[in-house]
Structure 1
Amino acid sequence: MNEVFAPTTLGPLTLRNRVIKAATFEGRTPDALVTDDLIEFHREVAAGGVAMTTVAYCAVAPGGRTDRHQIWMRPEAVPGLRRLTDAVHAEGAAASAQLGHAGPVANSASNRAPALAPSRLFSPLGMSPMKVPDETEIGELVTAHADAALLAIEAGFDAVEIHFGHNYLASSFLSPLLNRRKDRYGGTLQNRARLAREIARAVRDAVGERIAVTAKLNMEDGVRGGFTLPESLQVASWLEADGTLDALELTAGSSLLNPMLLFHGAAPRREFAKTLPGPARWGFRLIGRAFLREYPYEKAYLLERARQFRRELSMPLVLLGGITDSESMQLAMDEGFEFVAMGRALLREPDLLRRIESDAKTESACVHCNECMPTIYSRTRCVLRIEPSAAGSAPDSR
């Protein structure tokens, strides 16, 4: 395990080890601003030993959120984000901001702004047609990512992670199922990848080498007619050749159509249904089994797909999915991955990494029930964990 816990570099950063806290939406910003509760969430995992924690979800526009309670990057958000990064740095860890636009996954009713999609789609969340941006509006979205990255620097972040996964905006453009455009952003894979590449280039040009720039990329959507693994390999090769990224975090699944491909384990259908209002709850009972599919949990469950990227790429890669113990971490290192990312296991035990470092036989207490997933609508947490008294949730006003 010496390799896992030795200092390493990510672009211009020096990190204390190779373990990253993956972006898991925290649900702790009721007024779309940083709260003490959000700060404590990230301070706790930083104190628990990760090299870098990722703040999710820092939208690049108010309409790019999955609901209006999420942070969007604007000057008013910077003081609170600065308090957060200061708290993380005080624990010896780095902080990354996940930047993106939810696109078709955005809740237009909550945001009071239309959801965006590459082609005409109907939003089940907003119960309204989605807006199809023209090329001028696409250019504005690209610029918004660059502007958000500059605000991240101002807020003290050490890195940004650009969201190219889960059928959020850039990912939806990659999907031939969702993208039926006839202009230079649709049709061929090269055209469908144009938006992701332009965003990565704009962010890199804006920040230079001041911070690390990574991206989360779908290896596949897991949906018939969607973005496939061979296509993703080609897009990853283009991104590598562009030289805009310091690392790729490899993911899978569609928040819009097949979220469980990312998570694996139990599908919490009943728990999700309880979060919905009456009519929607009945509708979910009809489609819940098709929407929340069952994928058996196993350690490093995305490794088989990710191996193909490791064989074809030379850039640093982050292995995500089923990384919960020393065995899975060492497996990733042996397979040539530079970093691993942990998510749900740290919701249950924020100090898990410290304990693994002290005793390599330490086992995670996460049972992969995925009942943490529906808590995103209130306050993301492990339902089996007895938390210390929660910090206050008032928005930062300094």
Structure 2
Amino acid sequence: MTAPDVLAPAKLGPVTLRNRIIKSATFEGKTPDALVTDELIEFHRRPAAGGVGMSTVAYCAVAPEGRTEYGQLWMRPDALPGLRRLTDAIHAEGAAASAQLGHAGPVANQKSTGLPALAPSSSFNPLSMRMIRTATTADITRIAAAHGSAARLAVEAGFDAVEIHFGHNYFASSFLSPKLNRRKDSYGGSLENRARVVLETARSVRDAVGDKIAILAKLNMDDGVPGGFWVDEAIQVAQWLEASGSVDALELTMGSSLLNPMYLFKGDAPIREFAAAMPQPVRLGVQLVGKSMLHAYPYKPLFMLEEARQIRAAVKLPLVLLGGVTDKAGMDTAMAEGFEFVAMARALLREPDLINRIAAESDTQSLCIHCNKCMPTIFSGARCVLVERV
């Protein structure tokens, strides 16, 4: 079969995108009052004007304690006017808008939010210097239902899609991890039990919105942590999600924001910049032991492709390839390998108009150097540090 043209329109569930390129969720750090700001709107308007098919707003927590920090956006009626302005701005540039919905779980900084962080099992969070509380079955039921409520708000706000966050050891992803999930009840032990939060959450979203908008799920292929979730189990979870009919596509990812954050990004580990962005005593801790937490991994184009191929071989569900997608050649490779969409993040921070430039000159190369110094800027407004701040 002829590989599809990545720059041509494509169907994603009930939505038609103008091309197969998605700006993936990148925490923006531009909602100091947990509400949409003009800066957040401009952050997404620029890649929309720059040619992406869809821009993903990250991160839209489904509950107050599901935020990673106090200022993060969470889905509630008060947020709707700003969210409508945001989707209107993206649509005005010809792109679709997606809201990443999730609950941070153990990744939440309860010192910042003032609310307990929740996980499948109790543990210590080095960022907040506090214990993470074990989620009760009532918490699990409430959080799954909150995803459905948040998805309904996303429809009301004019979003074309939602992306459910099942990655990076956030709440649902932490249940998948044998390392983090030491429960003895029906949500722990076997993979079937550990996957219940994922499947129940996806079903809650589908039941809430039906086919009104596209539903994607961001699914970890592996945590990058010994004893954690791995690709063999990810294949089975992907098959269960496909059989459930709850999602229209999967975006494949990896890494643990809690235990191994650099595994997702590849490239340099900006330890000095991370330390500078942290308050004391966390800053001192990063300076002293940062190398044991922030591992540097060699960057290469399409660095998730090898694992993603294994998911591709196991399901017919549309898949989004993330990781090292920076040029037309890489996009064409993804299409030839059977992926329906590609997702980009860091390259678009460097050049929001990269897709228009690729459409005009197919051999255009990204200027991103994978220094990852954009990562610590999420605490002050996500940006490429090599570009003059606008």
1:70 alignment partner in structure 2 = 72
1:54 alignment partner in structure 2 = 56
> CA offsets, 1:26-64, max 9 Å, x none?
011111100001001101110000000000000000110
User: Which residue, out of 197, 202, 206, partners 2:204?
Assistant: 202
Aligned 8 A contact 2:96 2:159 in 1: yes
**Counterpart code for 1:105:** V
> CA offsets, 1:124-165, max 9 Å, x none?
222222121211221111110000000000100000000000
2:136 alignment partner in structure 1 = 134
1:37 alignment partner in structure 2 = 39
Q: Does 1:232 align with 2:234?
A: yes
1:322 alignment partner in structure 2 = 324
Q: CA deviation at 1:103?
A: 0.3
The separation in 1 between residues aligned to 2:74 and 2:227, in whole angstroms, is 32
Aligned 8 A contact 1:213 1:245 in 2: yes
Q: Secondary structure at the match of 2:335?
A: helix
Normalising by structure 1, report the TM-score: 0.96
Aligned 8 A contact 1:58 1:99 in 2: yes
Q: Secondary structure at the match of 1:364?
A: coil
Q: Secondary structure at the match of 2:193?
A: helix
1:335 alignment partner in structure 2 = 337
Q: How does 1:98-113 map to 2 (within 5 A)?
A: 98-113=100-115
The separation in 1 between residues aligned to 2:147 and 2:108, in whole angstroms, is 16
Q: How does 1:279-290 map to 2 (within 5 A)?
A: 279-290=281-292
> CA offsets, 1:75-113, max 9 Å, x none?
000100000000100111000000000000001011010
The separation in 1 between residues aligned to 2:94 and 2:280, in whole angstroms, is 46
1:277 alignment partner in structure 2 = 279
Q: How does 1:1-398 map to 2 (within 5 A)?
A: 3-388=5-390
Aligned 8 A contact 1:178 1:226 in 2: yes
The separation in 1 between residues aligned to 2:281 and 2:229, in whole angstroms, is 32
The separation in 2 between residues aligned to 1:68 and 1:276, in whole angstroms, is 15
The separation in 2 between residues aligned to 1:238 and 1:284, in whole angstroms, is 39
**Counterpart code for 1:375:** T
* RMSD of aligned alpha carbons: 1.0
Aligned 8 A contact 1:273 1:284 in 2: yes
Aligned 8 A contact 2:127 2:282 in 1: no
Q: Secondary structure at the match of 1:25?
A: coil
Q: Percent identity?
A: 66
Aligned 8 A contact 2:118 2:135 in 1: yes
**Counterpart code for 2:17:** L
Q: Which moved more, 1:122-131 or 1:267-276?
A: 122-131
The separation in 2 between residues aligned to 1:272 and 1:128, in whole angstroms, is 20
Q: Secondary structure at the match of 1:4?
A: coil
**Counterpart code for 2:39:** D
The separation in 2 between residues aligned to 1:341 and 1:277, in whole angstroms, is 32
The separation in 2 between residues aligned to 1:12 and 1:88, in whole angstroms, is 18
The separation in 1 between residues aligned to 2:204 and 2:278, in whole angstroms, is 38
Q: CA deviation at 1:294?
A: 1.3
Aligned 8 A contact 1:10 1:246 in 2: yes
Q: Secondary structure at the match of 1:31?
A: coil
> CA offsets, 1:270-290, max 9 Å, x none?
111111234322211232112
**Counterpart code for 2:21:** V
The separation in 2 between residues aligned to 1:60 and 1:158, in whole angstroms, is 18
Normalising by structure 2, report the TM-score: 0.98
Aligned 8 A contact 2:152 2:209 in 1: yes
Aligned 8 A contact 1:88 1:95 in 2: yes
Aligned 8 A contact 2:75 2:153 in 1: yes
Q: Secondary structure at the match of 1:131?
A: strand
Aligned length: 388
Aligned 8 A contact 2:327 2:365 in 1: yes
Aligned 8 A contact 1:108 1:125 in 2: no
1:396 alignment partner in structure 2 = none
**Counterpart code for 1:296:** P
The separation in 2 between residues aligned to 1:126 and 1:355, in whole angstroms, is 42
Q: CA deviation at 1:2?
A: 6.9
Q: Which moved more, 1:284-293 or 1:376-385?
A: 284-293
Aligned 8 A contact 2:68 2:107 in 1: yes
The separation in 2 between residues aligned to 1:220 and 1:304, in whole angstroms, is 12
The separation in 2 between residues aligned to 1:170 and 1:381, in whole angstroms, is 28
The separation in 2 between residues aligned to 1:181 and 1:363, in whole angstroms, is 48
For structure 1, the residue ranges without an aligned partner over 5 or more in a row are 389-398
The separation in 1 between residues aligned to 2:97 and 2:215, in whole angstroms, is 12
Residues 206/2 of structure 1: CA separation in 2 closer, same or farther (3 Å cut): closer
> CA offsets, 1:264-308, max 9 Å, x none?
001101111111234322211232112111111111010000011
Q: CA deviation at 1:122?
A: 1.5
